[in-house]
Amino acid sequence: MATAIVTGASQGIGACIIKRLAKDGYDCVVNCYPSDSDKENAEAVKAECESFGVKAIVYPCDVSKYDDCEKMVKDIKAEFGSIDVLVNNAGITKDGLLARMSEEQYDAVIAVNQKSVFNMMKHVGSVMMRQRSGKVVNLASVAGVYGNPGQFNYSASKAAIIGMTKTAAKELGSRGVNVNAVAPGFIKTPMTDTLTDEQRNAMLSVIAMKRYGTVDEIAGVVSFLVSDDASYVTGQVIEISGGLSM
Ligand code: NAP
């Protein structure tokens, strides 16, 4: 049985992706931030994964921490034998205009959104290279492609993820490892629930489909990218934004 890890999978897009991968037949590692509430939510996600007849575990780990990621990957490899899919989904926002953004706001977002991708790809990448197979999907954002006022830190982290995706695709391609990114637009999740009505309306006015996306619409594309149908797709950034920009 193939194994999938999704980081930050206790809610939102990550929870939906890991459940979709369970439905697709993967054994599942539900990573979550190591807080009591995240662990509780992750246990519920795990139970939903198991309802598809696969093995699932919750693994709390702050993915911004290098050593903790190394241990998590080692433990998962020991328990499951292989790591076939990695979805780097964990992310945070700490929005503010550049003029008012603090160093703490900048560093926190870079640590969770960007460094975590290095931490996970470094360790999972070496497992996949030795296996000579594997699929990685990184969660970028339209903010990393086009920029977004108030998200200097977030846009920086997501643009970096695009560069990391393309570089890793070039480094790992000959070892049978595909690395792609998805760049969601405005998706309804706890992360976007914090936006003001003014921010929401501004987003809607530039979306061709005139609606927000759903978590299932992200999970469906990830499911395709890790499937055999996408075996010759690597180093790509698939925008899932309802036509935010064309
Ligand atoms: P979300 O609902 O806030 O979920 C993100 C998850 O990541 C949360 O469960 C969060 O836990 C977890 N997380 C945060 N820091 C972590 C850490 N250090 N270690 C482990 N887990 C951690 O956000 P979402 O909307 O589902 O977003 C998922 C991904 O899609 C993110 O990378 C985001 O940037 C990207 N994205 C989202 C949208 C959108 O419109 N929603 C658009 C473009 C891209 P806590 O709740 O404890 O922080």
Look at ligand 1, atom 35, and give the residue with the nearest C-alpha.
Answer: 139
Alpha carbon distance, N-terminus to C-terminus of the chain: 39
**CA 195 to ligand 1 centroid distance, Å:** 14
Residues in CB range of 130: below 8 A, 6 or more apart: none
Q: Which CATH class for the 3-186+214-240 domain?
A: alpha beta
Look at ligand 1, atom 1, and give the residue with the nearest C-alpha.
Answer: 191
3-state percent helix, strand, coil for the chain, nearest multiple of 5: 50, 15, 30
**CA 174 to ligand 1 centroid distance, Å:** 31
The structural domains of the chain, with segments of one domain joined by +, span: 3-186+214-240
Give average pLDDT by consecutive 10-residue segment, the chain, 246 residues: 97 98 98 98 98 98 98 98 98 97 98 98 98 98 96 98 98 98 94 84 91 97 98 98 91
Give the pLDDT score at 193: 84
* Residue type at position 12: G
Catalytic residues: 154
